[in-house]
Amino acid sequence: MRFSLPPSSEITPEGVYLNRRRFLATAGLIGAGLVGTGSIHALPPRDEAQPKPLGKPYGLQPGDTPTSWEDVTGYNNFYEFGTGKEDPAEHAQGFRTTPWTVRIDGLVEKPGTYALEDFLKPSVVEDRIYRMRCVEGWSMVIPWRGIMLADVIKRAKPTSKAAFVELTTLMDPAQMPGQRYPVLDWPYVEGLRLDEAMHPLTLLATGVYGRELPPQNGAPLRLVVPWKYGFKGIKSIVRIRLVERMPRSSWMQAIPSEYGFYANVNPAVDHPRWSQATERRIGSFRRIPTLPFNGYADQVASLYAGMDLRKNY
Residue in 293, 193, 277, 284 with CA at minimum distance from that of residue 243: 193
Rounded average pLDDT over 264-270: 95
The structural domains of the chain, with segments of one domain joined by +, span: 54-304
User: Is the pLDDT confidence value at 37 over 90?
Assistant: no
Q: On the CB side of 308, how many CA atoms lie within 13 Å of its CA?
A: 2
Q: Which of 50-64, 65-79, 121-135, 266-280 has the lowest mean pLDDT?
A: 50-64
Q: With bands split at pLDDT 50, 70 and 90, how would you rate the model's confidence at 52? A: low
Tell me the per-residue pLDDT of 196-219, one tens digit each, with 9 for 90 and over. 999 999 999 999 999 999 999 999
Instruction: Return the SS3 of 309.
Output: coil
Residue in 168, 165, 170 with CA at minimum distance from that of residue 153: 165
Instruction: Return the SS3 of 129.
Output: strand
User: Is the pLDDT confidence value at 46 over 70?
Assistant: no
Q: With bands split at pLDDT 50, 70 and 90, how would you rate the model's confidence at 281? A: very high
Instruction: Return the SS3 of 86.
Output: coil
Supply the pLDDT for residue 48.
Answer: 39
Rounded average pLDDT over 65-81: 96
- pTM of this structure: 0.83
- 241 phi and psi, to 5 degrees? -120, 130
User: Is the pLDDT confidence value at 229 over 90?
Assistant: yes
Supply the pLDDT for residue 109.
Answer: 98
The domain over range 54-304 is classified in CATH as 3.90.420.10: yes
Q: Which of 39-43, 243-247, 301-305 has the lowest mean pLDDT?
A: 39-43
Supply the pLDDT for residue 2.
Answer: 36
Rounded average pLDDT over 87-111: 97
**Who has greater pLDDT, 300 or 43?**
300
**Residue type at 73?**
T
Q: What is the rounded distance in angstroms from the CA atom of residue 202 to the CA atom of residue 240?
A: 14
User: Is the pLDDT confidence value at 72 over 80?
Assistant: yes
User: Is the pLDDT confidence value at 272 over 70?
Assistant: yes
* Contact residues for 210 (Cβ-Cβ < 8 A; gap 6+): 52, 53, 54, 55, 127, 143, 145
Q: What is the rounded distance in angstroms from the CA atom of residue 92 to the CA atom of residue 34?
A: 11
What does 267-295 look like in DSSP terms, one character per residue?
TTS-BTTB--SEEEETT---EEEPPGGGG
User: Is the pLDDT confidence value at 31 over 80?
Assistant: no
Q: What is the rounded distance in angstroms from the CA atom of residue 102 to the CA atom of residue 310?
A: 34
